[in-house]
Amino acid sequence: MLILTRKQGESITIGEDVKITILDVKGKYVRVGVEAPKTLAVHRMEISPVGQKETSEN
C-alpha cells in the first residue's frame, strides 16, 4: 500500500486516466473527487458487493 499526504486542492494520478483530488477536509471527513474514464468502474468499498465480501473476511 502506498500512503500519501495531500492537502485540500492537491491531486494524485493513477496511470494516465485516473485523477484523485482532495476537495475538502472537515474534521475527520474528507471529500474526494475521482476523475476516471466511464469504462472504468469506481465503487465505494462499503457499498459494493465486492467490498462487503472483503470486509466480512477481515
Q: Using CA of residue 48, residue 35, residue 30, residue 4, what is the dihedral sign?
A: positive
pTM recorded for the entire structure: 0.73
Nearest 5°: phi and psi at 50? -65, -45
Domain ranges of the chain: 11-57
What distance, in Å, lies between the first and last C-alpha atoms of the chain? 16
Residues 2-57: tens digit of each pLDDT: 999 999 999 999 999 999 999 999 999 999 999 999 999 888 888 866 655 555 45
